[in-house]
Structure 1
Amino acid sequence: MSDPTPEGVAEGGRLLLAEPAPGVVQLTISNPAKRGALDEPLLNALVETLTAIDARCVLLTGEGRSFCAGYDIGALSSDGYDDSDGHPFQSALAAVADYPYPVVAALNGYAIGGGLELAITCDLRIAAAGVQFGMPPAKLGVVYNHGGINRFVTAIGAARTRELFLTGRRVEAETAERWGLVNEVVPADELPTAALALAVEIAANAPLSLRGNKAAIAAVSAAAGALDDATAAALDRSRREAFLSDDLREGLAAFAEKRPPVWRGR
């Protein structure tokens, strides 16, 4: 198969596609100018590709020293930013979650913010030793999407999710494995081989079982994290207020200027 990225998006990210083994498709996030950040071309390519392929296992990885630096932070500075249902970021996560067969994240480099949510949306995660993970919303003035937070609570529990989101600290792969954030850690030079071996093992299993068990696990997990409409709406209002706040603009400016932010609480 050829690179599925549409023509005319050379300045943005690309999604590189390969078939390293029967039944396995490898997708590589390529956006070297922005350390693998998820811009709209990349997000759209993820949706289009996962809709078109029919692999028994998808291996998702990054290029160079990063898996994914998160959602392209430039979009957060827009007063019109809204990543609710239908936004390219949410559509890409849904495409990964809804892909009928297992998706394995091979975490070759750091995964931050939306990049870490992309990884945790995958069914399994294998990481290179020493790789760091982090959730920086508290350092930027962002209230995170409650659906995204539920993915973390489901994977690592409420206590570790609080630690990840409320401190904004980065954790290394070895700690992430203890938390259950990743399934396995291997030496960096062994990651490509180990990740492919895992994908090949999965792809060799019964397709009806792979599809049925993935769907059952997703349904049970979703039921445990269900919110009533009023609660979900209240959380969405809080999130929207944060995106329109002075603090968000200050957080983004401080990040760009590499200085401590001065919060005003409004």
Structure 2
Amino acid sequence: MILVHTELDGKLGFITLNNAPKRNCLSKALIDELVEALDQHQKSGALAVVLRAPANSTVWSAGHDIGELPDPYRDPLPYEEPFESLLRHVQDYPRPIIAMVEGGVWGGALDLALSCDILIGCENATFAITPAKIGVPYNPSGLIHFINILGLNKAKELFFTAQPISAQEALRIGLLNHLVPAAELEAFTKELAAKIINNAPLTVSVIKRQFRLLTRGATLTAETFELIQSVRRNVYDSQDYQEGIRAFKEKRPPRFQGK
């Protein structure tokens, strides 16, 4: 594997995002390697996995590879899209996954980090969810995921403003489990992981699955589901969606018109 590195330290697996030139963006190629790395650790008997960027990174991940979003008039985040499959793979993974965060976590990368079971960050970590900056209508499962973790109003603020929050604010609102000095980040993460590994692995695995099932969200009526799909379609069929993608590729601010 090229875009991610794997390491096994006893029963603790490490996966390091390793595409600094593209700021560890979640391209299909990187996603494929990340899923493969998780599967390798499961086969190797790892009882916990740490997902990280290289030491001293300024960007953990810049999120979805915008260049791989579909053309206008198609849902940019359908169920079978590689990024969506990755999130489910992480959420359903039978062992705890710890996100060890240095640097910026932007866009879809924040959804990935929150799909992990525990988040540990240092002072230079920042977090932003940015679909409103490029006109992408986020999908219902992603919104429910943020609501479950952050609460409705804080999730609204993050999505509506698309502005980054500091590590201190992330700790305050419950996005981070722990905030530690950068020099202590790896040692602290390993110490916490060791506490997990020393417990009954079957119990930990089953409890993780129960958490996943219990936080999937309330059942939607067929009418509500159809309404959600309709309002999302209004966005990805819009001129603003085309402008947002075009502006990103041209590296300029978008000129949204609300239509």
Q: Considering the TM-score relative to the shorter chain, is it more than 0.5?
A: yes
How much has 1:17 moved relative to structure 2? Answer: 0.3
| Separation (CA, whole Å) in 2 of partners of 1:82 and 1:76 | 6
**1:131 is aligned to 2:122:** no
Structure 1 residues 23-42: Cα deviation after superposition (integer angstroms, max 9, x where no partner)? 11001111112111011111
Which AA in structure 1 matches 2:147? Answer: V
Q: 1:45 aligns with which of 15, 20, 33?
A: 33
- Displacement of 1:244 in angstroms is 3.1
- Could you tell me whether the CA contact under 8 Å between 1:153 and 1:161 is conserved in 2? yes
SS, match of residue 50 in structure 2:
strand
Q: Would you say the 8 A contact 2:70–2:76 is kept in 1? A: no
Tell me the secondary structure at the aligned position of residue 18 of structure 1.
strand
- 1:239 and 2:227 correspond: no
Whole-Å separation in 1 of the counterparts to 2:154 and 2:218: 16
SS at match of 1:17: strand
Does the alignment pair 1:70 with 2:58?
no
Question: What CA distance in whole angstroms lies between the structure 2 residues aligned with 1:104 and 1:174?
Answer: 19
Matches within 5 A, 1:1-266: 5=1, 14-19=3-8, 21-54=9-42, 55-63=46-54, 64-76=57-69, 78-79=71-72, 80=74, 82-222=76-216, 224-266=217-259
TM-score (norm 2): 0.91
d(CA) in 1 for partners of 2:222 and 2:18? 38
Stretches of structure 1 that go unaligned for 5 or more consecutive residues are none
**What SS does the aligned partner of 2:210 have?**
helix
After superposing the two structures, state which structure 1 stretch, 178-187 or 249-258, moved more: 249-258
Alpha-carbon distance change, 174 to 226 in structure 1, aligned in 2, over 3 angstroms: farther
C-alpha distance in 2 between matches for 1:229 and 1:104:
36
SS at match of 1:27: strand
Q: Distance in 2 between matches of 1:228 and 1:75?
A: 32
Cα deviation digits, residues 229-253 of structure 1 (max 9, x gap): 3322322333233223211222233
Q: Is the 8 A contact 1:47 1:91 kept in 2?
A: no
Q: CA deviation at 1:81?
A: 5.8
Q: Percent sequence identity over matched residues?
A: 35
Could you state the TM-score of these two structures normalised by the residue count of structure 1?
0.89
CA distance in 2, matches of 1:51, 1:234: 37
Q: One-letter code of the match for 1:104?
A: I
Find the aligned partners of 1:232 and 1:28 in 2 and give their Cα distance: 37
Listed as ranges, the gaps of 5+ residues in structure 2 are none
AA at the equivalent of 2:52: T
Inter-CA distance 74–81: structure 2 relative to 1 (3 Å threshold):
farther
CA contact (8 A) 1:150 1:225 kept: no
8 Å contact 2:122–2:181 — kept in the other structure? yes
2:58, 2:124 within 8 Å by CA — same for their partners in 1? no
Structure 1 stretches of 4+ moved >6 Å: none
